[in-house]
Structure 1
Amino acid sequence: MSYTDFAHSLTAFIQDCPSMFHSVAAIAKELKAKGFSELREKDSWNLEAGKGYYTIRNNSSIIAFAIPENLTDYHFQMSAAHTDSPTFKIKAVPELNGPAEYLRLNVEAYGGMIDSTWLDRPLTIAGRVLVENEDRLESRLFYMDEDILTIPNVPIHFNRQVNDGYAFNRQIDLMPLFSCGEMKKGSFDAMVADVLGVKVEDIKGKDLFLVNRQKGLLWGYKDEFVSSPKLDDLECAYTTLQGFLASAHKDKIDVYCCFDNEEVGSNTKQGAMSTFLKDTLRRINAGLGKSEEDYMRAVSKSFLVSADNGHAVHPNHPEKTDEGNTVFMNKGPIIKEAANQKYTTDAFSRAVFVRICEKAGVPVQFFANRSDIVGGSTLGNLSNTQVSVHAVDIGLAQLAMHSSFETGGAKDPYYLYEALKTYFNTVIDIDGADTVTFR
């Protein structure tokens, strides 16, 4: 497969993932097609050698794992990414009447988006809806596959300072326009009910989010760029999944994780700080007939690749990045480090991932924030609060992170796929923090 083919497959995947709930459904569909079986958390788990499984929490986080044919002195080799991206969530009472016959939607920020990038473009909604069906409630995926909303800018004639660093008020400036007279209060829920084929009174709960309707694309005269909504972090979610699925899964337990709620701190029942990973690993251990002592020994020898995108040098603002630890698009995966441990990378984990990239024949880059700029956090150090293992924070270099339409290098997704395929196809034998053997 060429890098352009892989980039096109990435944008097609993202198109199928308008919300974190759809992302998990799309990932589960790929896993099932590869022979993985679902294990529900409420059920007993019966594991078999040579089989692959996945489990889902809240319909927005998913963990898959593969049991090798022969398993003796085992450990876990894991990857983690996240399903969510910054957007706007529709409030429980969704509509705002007026002025006059206008009908707007009442939304609030989910994560730290670049507000201006959401204005003057076709939008829709996606998420999940809880519907009453006789004596039970059922969760339904919801995606309005139409252009139904926009957030209009104020004309420059009324807002002369808009190009001078205007601060948008999220309660005033960022409410999507839904109708200018054809629909009245109550029309939003009526629309949702109509799409789902249920009665309005049967809708008991909604987690619905705004979606940018622009389709991802490969662009540039030399096919250098890929742009799409949600590159952060569905780019890593997809590439790590493909690397995981391409592995032979020998002599260790390979684990693929995709968590929800990274953009709002991860401290939810389905986030990276939750017990989801720990619960899953313990149940794998028990399902294999292993003891608590076996589990602790396995964890001590385990490794996590936490994959979440990072910042490429900006063509117009190179001064925003560190003078030496700079990364660029189409130059391979990046390893992220921070002395404050917002990134979990240390010398040990960095060396392991560099060795993997060398083995894969993939270039690798190193990122650190300027010393006078506080960077963001990601999955690695947060998941380590529940399952403490050697871990490295990596990602792909991109521009305009947290824009509603982000840009990255077209070659990089294929580079990361090759690196993760090599990672999962390599048995990494760890002895404390002293030695690592690759086989």
Structure 2
Amino acid sequence: MPERPFGEAAGFHITASHSDSPAFKVKPQAELLAENSYVRLNVEPYGGMIYASWMDRCLSVAGKIVFKQGDTLASKTVNIDEDLLVIPNLAIHMNHEINKNLTYDPQTDLQPLFCGEWEKEGKESCKGILEKKIAASAGIREEDLLGRDLFVYVREKGKLAGADKELMISPRLDDLECVYASLKAFLASKPERYVTVCAVFDNEEVGSYTRQGAASTFLKDTLERIGEGMGRKGSSYLRMLSDSFMVSADNAHALHPGFPQKADPSNRPRLNKGIVIKYHGGQKYTTDAYSEAVIKSLCQQAGVPYQTYCNRSGTVGGSTLGNISAAQVSIPAADVGLPQLAMHSAVETAGSRDVEYLIRMLKVFYEK
């Protein structure tokens, strides 16, 4: 909350980012017996995945479960913290075309291997072995487990690489890098005039149209309740919104050294060269003349570099949170991000210096 009296805040300063990343979601009744020897997990793609990047990596399962606790239902997050799964490639000796535009069928080619030597007979004999793992990891009885949202994830830890450790290589940089920067700035800031909000949405990778996504009324409802608590209702609350601003922070495509022709000829972000301001003629990004000027001014005040991104004309790019959430709460906004390579790969690459630039800019944003 701002330092000025509670009811006198000028408006809201909001950052919006998302917590989800493309992955495989685990289906119910997930265990599949294959060739009377192997057990695979039945999964489906969540978001726009680069399938080949998931092959031959150590994987595991994490997510949310709902379970019976006495006469009520309780929920908790769960992570099977061990190398549990792998999606093995077919050897090149058995598929000589594997390096020539190979396509994968998610239902037949991408089901992770769970057990390598299942000896019980019958295709139903393997049912429930994942639930046993989940229940043990959560510290509950297997029969109390009633609901789950589980995902396969890459076990690899993030690391610094490059000649001068200038590269950051990690799963899920899109968009946890911006989540991290937003939260760090939020916690470090001392706002003077504005109520500061760090909003982290789910389900951006599948369109945001869920009750926890940016297309929901969650942000709108939360801001209204804060306004009511401050005694700001009706036209007074609307004046708060008119003096508010949102920074939609979701990573951006950096110029790829192997595919420079895929980038716009004049807007070509590079790693470690600063925050990326994103533009789109079809309004998939919220940046306009006013919000562009606000971001550039904030970068100048923070002493950090910025660069610009547009899709190459004729290329259909992705969308993000800004316009989706702005449709629920009509306030000025800009879309920014940090430059990265291999977006939506199982492991992505970004610049190790850029995250500090975003923290510094957002801290100024929260405080001014």
Find the aligned partners of 2:235 and 2:287 in 1 and give their Cα distance: 27
- Map 1:244-393 → 2, pairs under 5 A: 244-393=186-335
Q: Name the CA distance, whole Å, in 2 between partners of 1:137 and 1:159.
A: 49
Q: Within the alignment, does 1:84 sit opposite 2:20 as a pair?
A: yes
Aligned residue number for residue 184 of structure 2: 242
The residue number in structure 2 matching 1:110 is 46
Pair 1:181-2:117 in alignment: yes
Q: Quick one: distance in 2 between partners of 1:339 and 1:289?
A: 39
Counterpart of 1:300 in structure 2: which amino acid?
A: S
Equivalents in 2 of 1:169, 1:182: separation in Å?
24
Please state how far the C-alpha of 1:425 moved relative to its aligned partner. Answer: 1.6
> Cα offset for 1:291?
1.8
Structure 1 residue 166 and structure 2 residue 109: aligned?
A: no
Once the two structures are superposed, residues 169-188 of structure 1 have per-residue CA deviations (whole angstroms, 9 ceiling, x without a partner) of 00011000000224733211
SS at structure 1 position matched to 2:291: helix
CA distance in 2, matches of 1:420, 1:390: 16
Distance, in Å, in 2 between the alignment partners of 1:151 and 1:302 is: 47
Aligned length: 361
Q: Which ranges of structure 2 fall in alignment gaps of 5 or more residues?
A: 120-125
Q: Which amino acid aligns with 1:364?
A: Y
RMSD of the alignment, in Å? 1.1
Partner of 1:68: 3
The answer as to whether partners of 2:194 and 2:366 remain within 8 angstroms in 1 is: no
Tell me which of 77, 82, 97 is aligned to 1:146.
Answer: 82
Give the CA deviation at 1:377: 0.3
Segments of 4+ moved more than 6 angstroms: none
The alignment status of 1:424 with 2:359, answered yes or no, reads no
- State how far apart, in whole Å, the 2-side matches of 1:346 and 1:269 are: 28
Q: Deviations over 1:173-229 (max 9, x none)?
A: 100000022473321112212222322221101111011000001111211101111
TM superposition shift of 1:67: 4.4
**Alignment counterpart, residue 94 of structure 1, candidates 20, 30, 44:** 30
Contact 2:4 2:192 in 1 (8 A): yes
Per the alignment, in what secondary structure is the counterpart of residue 171 of structure 1? Answer: helix
Q: 2:39, 2:118 within 8 Å by CA — same for their partners in 1? A: no
- 2:304, 2:133 → 1: CA distance? 49
- Asked whether the 8 Å contact 2:64–2:77 carries over to 1, the reply is yes
**1:80 and 1:257 in contact (8 A); partners too:** yes
Q: Per the alignment, in what secondary structure is the counterpart of residue 392 of structure 1?
A: strand
Which amino acid in structure 1 is aligned with residue 192 of structure 2? K
Contact 1:104 1:175 in 2 (8 A): yes
Q: Work out whether residues 275 and 307 of structure 2, in 8 Å CA contact, stay in contact via their aligned partners in 1.
A: yes
Cα distance, 1:300 vs structure 2: 1.2
Paired residue type of 1:109: P
Question: Secondary structure of the residue that 2:198 maps to in structure 1?
Answer: strand
Distance 2:313 2:4 in 1: 48
Q: Distance in 2 between matches of 1:195 and 1:246?
A: 34
Q: Kindly provide the CA deviation profile for residues 73-100 of structure 1, in whole angstroms up to 9, marking residues without a partner as x.
A: 6111111100100100000111111122
> Residue 172 of structure 1: SS of its match in structure 2?
helix
Give the secondary structure class of the aligned counterpart of 1:408: strand
Distance 2:4 2:118 in 1: 62
Structure ranking higher on relative contact order (CA contacts 8 Å, 6+ apart): 2
For residue 39 of structure 1, what is the aligned residue in structure 2? none
Q: Could you tell me how far apart the structure 1 residues matched to 2:18 and 2:157 are?
A: 20
Alignment partners' CA distance in 2, 1:165 and 1:103: 28
For residue 197 of structure 1, the aligned residue among 128, 133, 139 is 139
How far apart, CA to CA, are the structure 1 residues paired with 2:350 and 2:9? 40
Distance 2:116 2:11 in 1: 59
Q: C-alpha separation between the residues in 2 aligned to 1:243 and 1:197?
A: 35
1:69 CA drift (Å): 3.8
SS of aligned partner of 1:129:
strand
CA distance in 2, matches of 1:75, 1:109: 40
Taking the aligned partners of 1:189 and 1:256, their CA distance within structure 2 comes to 35
Aligned-pair identity (%)? 48
- Aligned equivalents of 2:61, 2:37: Cα separation in 1: 22
- 1:127 maps to 63
Amino acid at match of 2:365: Y
State how far apart, in whole Å, the 2-side matches of 1:290 and 1:187 are.
54
Partner in structure 2 of residue 406 of structure 1: 348
